[in-house]
Amino acid sequence: MDDNILLKTVKLKKYFPLTGGVFRKVVGKVHAVDGVNLDIVKGETLGVVGESGCGKTTLGRTILRLLSPTSGKIIFDGRDITRLDQKDLRSIRREMQIVFQDPMASLDPRITIKKTVGEPLIVNGVAKGQQVRNMVLDLLQKVGLTEDHLNRFPHEFSGGQRQRICIARALALNPKFVVMDEPTSSTDVSVQAQTLNLMKDLQDEFDLTYMFISHNLSVVKHMSDRVAVMYLGQVVELTPQDLFRKSYHPYTFALVSAVPVPDPRFAGRAQILKGEVPSPINPPTGCRFHPRCVFAQGICKRQEPKLDDMGGGHFVACHFAGELDFGISSQMDYASAVGRE
Partner 1 sequence: MSDTEKIRTSDEVSAIDKADMDLVLQVEDLVTNFYTYEGTVLALDRVNLFLRRGDTMGVVGETGCGKSVSAKSILRLVEPPGRIEHGRILFNALDRKTGEITTTDLLELSEKEMLGIRGAKIAIVFQDPATYPNPVFRVGTQISEVIKLHQDLSAEGLEMRIEELGAEIKYRELQESDRIRRSEAEKRRKGSDYDEKDQEKETKHKEKYKAQQTRMERKLGYLKGMIDNPPEPPKLYRDAVAMRRAIKMLEMVKMPAADRVVMQYPHELSGGMRQRALIAMALSCNPNILICDEATTALDVTVQAQVLNLLNELKEEIGTSIMIITHDLGVVAETCNWVNVMYAGTTVESAATDELFSNPIHPYTSGLLQAIPKLHENKERLDQILGIVPNLITPPPGCRFHPRCEFATEICRQDRPDLREIKPMHFVACHNPQGSF
Q: What is the DSSP string of 33-86?
A: EEEEEEEEETT-EEEEE--TTSSHHHHHHHHTTSS--SEEEEEETTEE-TT--H
**Between 253 and 315, CB nearer to partner 1:** 253
Of 27-35, 156-164, 280-288, 293-301: span binding partner 1 (CB under 8 A): 156-164
Q: What are phi and psi of 105, to 5 degrees?
A: -75, -25
The whole-angstrom separation of Cα 258 and Cα 243 is 13
Contacting residue, 91, 134, 197, 303, with partner 1 by CB under 8 A:
197
Assess contact for 31 and 285: CB atoms under 8 A.
no
Of 34-42, 111-119, 182-190, 316-324: span binding partner 1 (CB under 8 A): 182-190
Which residues ranging from 83 to 142 are in contact with partner 1 (CB under 8 A)?
none
**Of the candidates 165, 171, 189, 19, the residue with the CA atom closest to the CA atom of residue 96:** 171
Long-range contacts of 23-27 (CB under 8 A, 24+ apart): none
- Cβ neighbours of residue 53 closer than 8 Å, sequence gap 6 or more: 277, 280
Residue 261 per-residue DSSP state = P
SS3 20: strand
Other Cβ atoms within 10 Å of 325 Cβ, number: 6
Assess contact for 206 and 239: CB atoms under 8 A.
no
Burial 54-77 (b: 16+ CB within 10 A, else e): bbbbbbbbbbbbebebbebebbbe
CB of 204 to partner 1, least distance (A): 10
**Distance of alpha carbon 144 from the chain centroid:** 24
Does 296 participate in binding partner 1 (rule CB under 8 A)?
Answer: no
Does 152 participate in binding partner 1 (rule CB under 8 A)?
Answer: no
Contacting residue, 22, 190, 325, 340, with partner 1 by CB under 8 A:
190
Contacting residue, 30, 113, 171, 217, with partner 1 by CB under 8 A:
217
CB of 234 to partner 1, least distance (A): 17
Of 33-41, 65-73, 88-96, 185-193: span binding partner 1 (CB under 8 A): 185-193
- By CB under 8 A, the count of residues binding partner 1 is 47
Does 158 participate in binding partner 1 (rule CB under 8 A)?
Answer: yes
| DSSP H helices in 207-329 | 217-223, 250-258, 298-302
Which residues ranging from 311 to 330 are in contact with partner 1 (CB under 8 A)?
none
**Structural element, H or E, at residue 334:** helix 330-340
CB of 338 to partner 1, least distance (A): 5
CB of 160 to partner 1, least distance (A): 7
Contacting residue, 22, 87, 298, 338, with partner 1 by CB under 8 A:
338
Binding pattern for the stretch 246-285 against partner 1, x by CB under 8 A and - elsewhere: --------xx--xxxxxxxxxxx-x-xx--xx--------
**Between 12 and 107, CB nearer to partner 1:** 107
Other Cβ atoms within 10 Å of 291 Cβ, number: 15
Q: Packing angle between helix 130-142 and helix 113-123, nearest 10 degrees?
A: 120
Of 59-67, 115-123, 124-132, 217-225: span binding partner 1 (CB under 8 A): 217-225
Contacting residue, 63, 196, 232, 316, with partner 1 by CB under 8 A:
196
Contacting residue, 189, 298, 311, 325, with partner 1 by CB under 8 A:
189
Task: Note the residues at the interface with partner 1 (CB under 8 A).
Answer: 51-52, 158-161, 188-194, 196-197, 200, 215, 217-219, 221-222, 242, 244, 254-255, 258-268, 270, 272-273, 276-277, 331, 334-335, 338-339
